[in-house]
Chain A
Amino acid sequence: MKFDTIIIGGGLAGLVAGIRLQEKGRQCAIVSTGQSALHFSSGSFDLLGKLPDGTEVDNPMGMMNRLDAPHPYSYIGSEAIAVYADEFSEMMKRAGVNLVGNVSQNHYHFTPMGSVKKTWLTLKDFTILDRPDNFPWKSVAIINFPGFLDFYTKFIADELEKHDVKCKLSLVKLPFIEKIRTNPTEMRSANIAKTFEKEENIDAFVEAVSPYIKDVEAIVVPAVFGIYSDKPLLYLKSKLNKDVCTIATMPPSVPGIRMQQQLIHYFIRQGGTFMLGDTVERADIEKDEVKAVYTANHSDIKMTADNYILASGSFFSRGIIARPDSVYEPVFDLDVFYDTDRSHWYDTDVFAPQKYMSFGVITTPDFHAIRKHVTITNLYAIGSILSGHNALHEGCGGGVSIMSAMHVADNLLKNK
């Protein structure tokens, strides 16, 4: 199997790079285990929420020059980031994903705890605020389903009431959701979302909530509408005649799953090859060049390409793996940044910045991977596998994935 580019990892970074290249006619294959961080995303992408020293950031573009190497943004540069930001939103639109946001002004979205959090881009599904205290309504009805434990109406009501929003909590019992509960472990957001693929079930929902929402300005519901497309949510909105505010549930994230599905389908429609449920296990490397890679399902078939992009994620996605005394990259054995003293990896406060979060592969400023101190000329690393940033502490995970993917794809497009 021969491609222009083989991308290892089908999360946000891998898909963005794949789509960017495929749209310009490059033949790409994405090898994906299927699961990615998108499955528990909040429905928003962060660009920059904090500087490494903890300084809060309201205008990400205004603060870009405060980031030094090896931060991935410092390699890309703020001018390119501004351009990519626009191009990314357009590209997502073509894939059917509608986002709102501005690189020069973070906005606020709701967390499953009911608090608000700043971010860069948010799916149009969700309500956003331009300021953390600027709520668009004075009264809402918060709706949940009996036995759905991953949506906390009480927490949400408490936060809203702090801002003088009157909240009414209601549980609506619907026979098709009750049916899911026959098995105690099935009451999850994704299963509920599947029932709302039928318009008649949304009609039933609208009827069930109607007694509760007469005298409120908006209705707050868990984000369980639209797992394959945004149609169910649009249909719900058209039927309700009220503001509908969806709030993310605990994982899995229905909007996150949908976003990944939409990106995969768009990539395939552009002619890309998506190898689902497969993993790249090893590679042939000669001197400074990758010659071929081999996957778990096709271990005897050589997959070759002019270029390779490693977008296999951080520890969670097994892009890098920690041993008690070291951290390694399992496919190519790339050079990884980590601290050799394990006692430095962690802070005893679980919410403090954790050093292990900044471990990742070391690259050149154009994201070429490095192996045993040698730059591999046709292998790039993008997304959360990169070192030099702490996605959680700095609120830059989505942005680093998107920007590094756009940047590497553009460089590949320029070179030929």
Chain B
Amino acid sequence: MKKVGEGNEYDVIIIGGGATGAGTARDCAMRGLRVLLLERFDYTNGATGRNHGLLHSGARYAVNDSESATECIKENMILRKIASHCVEENDGLFISLPEDDIAYQAKFIDSCRKAGISAEAIDPKEAIRIEPSVNPSLIGAVKVPDGSIDPFRLTLANVLDARQHGAVTKVYHEVVKFIREQDRIVGVCALNHKTKEVETYYAQFVVNAGGIWGHHIAEMAGVTVNMYPAKGALLIFGHRVNNVVLNRCRKAADADILVPGDTITVIGTTSSHIPYDEIDNMRVTPEEVDLLLREGEKLAPSLATTRILRAYAGVRPLVAADDDPTGRNISRGIVLLDHAERDGLNSFLTITGGKLITYRLMAEWTTNLICKKMGLNEPCRTAEVPLPGSRQESEEVKERIASNNVYRAAEGRHGDLTKEIPLDNEYDNSLVCECEGVSVGEVNYALKELEISDLVSLRRRTRVGMGTCQGELCACRAAGLLSQAHNCTEKAKADLVNFLNERWKGMYPIAWGESLRESQFSAWVYGSVCNLSSGKTK
């Protein structure tokens, strides 16, 4: 076990590799603090990677929660600048259907404007022109500056920038114990899941950015943060049905947001309270799928005949307030807890609540508090300095994009960092994933630079296996490259089995029609032709 003074001392330890943790690591590092980020599994494994990917304008919260709405629109505008390679500026429509109360529209527009969100009522015919997939029986529409955001890219860009500013980041490091001296947290013990060893780290401050898991992390530290696990299920459709985000102009309800992103469209969400012990094993039920489809078709009727690629679910990290069974009336506002003030436990902070889109603001608040406590007077610059990937592209990159299709696909994912990807010879150019245009060069870049440990993390970093075939052949190809890189075929094969099971988890809830065809095909290829099996390879 390492002792104090052996390179395991930091100013701040951040627990959690979601958008908030990564954003906080970036902000702290940019202000000159020595930062260690510990993530239990992989980045974006929790709610960050399991939502709509909606760049909220805040309009959805305008009527009931003007504070959140105001935060949203401000952050929305900031992200368009600092994370341009993660954002699609699609706009959004809030539509009223014949069954909706059209009177709500006026109240909605008024609330939006008060929160600083531009909201313009448009003619239903104009709405159909802007978004041909919209339900043609709509009776009203309001245009707002919604958009789409890729949370995987966003989080990774924050991690990369934190590292460029000196932060140390460790995935597969699970905090298992806090080190406490009297009324002060002075460090943590983290289980390294790869080596199975417990490592000890010390810091002046420890930040709990564990999302829904923050409940348990706080408990370990000896304080109580009551989280309210609200499960939200979503469906991914196999192509981009809509180009504009579609919402229902009514009080927030199930399955009333349809978000386009990259090559796909997402409908969600449901909302149901689940027991805390289920948060690590969420499965989408047939009832949730049916509900999402039934409601989704009201936004865009063509969803009824569009192939569904996957179903997935996340848990909103809401802080429990009253006894609301739906979890919808709990504020989505940011909760920053200074446990010194609240519980008399020094050096420990919890940052939770909020939304994906307010992650930067959450990081700013947290870092401000730490700086204040440390007596530092460094200003926050995260709202102005673009993230890696969203900086000026060099002429060289532009030229290569113009001449190479494979490069163009990579550019969409990595922005100006595409220059790091070797695509100069035909071997680097060979495609691993044909649906998403992921090349050998891109996979090798990710293996080298982006903390890839398995196929699931590779998928998050590059979109390998996210396309229409859901990893039919590319999973196996990527496993081959992984086994070369890590020089361990047993692990690569075990990874492949694990990846296929993860994929199945998202597919079986919606496995009928084309999805069942695809499932049967891959069962034959991997189960019969390759003779793979769970647990161990035969």
Contact = CB atoms under 8 A, between A and B. Distances in A.
Given A155-B489, A318-B517, A113 B530 contact: yes
Secondary structure dominating the interface of A = loop
Interface in B108-143: none
B537 A113 contact: yes
Given A146-B427, A155-B480, A158-B489, A356 B528 contact: no
A154 B480 contact: yes
Contacts of A184: 405-406, 429-431, 439
Contacts of B529: 40-42, 111-112, 248, 250-251, 253
A346 interface: yes
Interface stretch (A93-101, A303-311, A319-327): A319-327
Nearest to A112: B530
Nearest to B474: A149
Q: How large is the interface on A (under 10, 10 to 19, 20 to 34, 35 or more residues)?
A: 35 or more
A88 interface: no
Interface in B47-93: none
Interface stretch (B173-181, B185-193, B493-501): B493-501
Contacts of B525: 40, 250-251
Given A40-B529, A357-B523, A392-B523, A182 B489 contact: no
Contact of A181 (B405, B426, B484): B426
A192 B199 CA distance: 51
Interface stretch (B232-240, B332-340, B346-354, B504-512): B504-512
B538 interface: yes
Contacts of A158: 489-490
A251 B525 CA distance: 8
Interface stretch (A67-75, A238-246, A347-355): A347-355
A42 B118 CA distance: 60
A155 B516 CA distance: 29
B459 to A, nearest CB: 16
Nearest to B521: A316
Secondary structure dominating the interface of B = helix
A64 B527 CA distance: 23
Contacts of B476: 150, 152, 250
A30 to B, nearest CB: 22
B530 A350 contact: no
B528 A397 contact: yes
B141 to A, nearest CB: 30
Contacts of A314: 520
Contacts of A113: 493, 530-532, 537
A329 B432 CA distance: 36
Given A147-B426, A350-B523, A351-B497, A111 B480 contact: no
A185 B532 CA distance: 26
B511 to A, nearest CB: 6
12 contacts: A113-B493, A149-B432, A154-B489, A187-B430, A323-B512, A342-B286, A343-B286, A346-B511, A348-B504, A348-B508, A350-B523, A350-B526
Closest 7 CB pairs of A and B: A350-B504, A322-B512, A346-B508, A149-B477, A158-B489, A147-B430, A184-B431
Interface of A: 37, 40-42, 111-113, 115, 117, 146-147, 149-150, 152, 154-155, 158, 178, 181-182, 184-185, 187, 248, 250-251, 253, 314-316, 318, 321-324, 342-343, 345-346, 348-352, 354, 356-357, 392, 395, 397
Given A149-B480, A395-B528, 10 more contacts: A113-B531, A154-B489, A155-B489, A155-B493, A185-B431, A185-B434, A342-B286, A343-B286, A346-B508, A392-B527
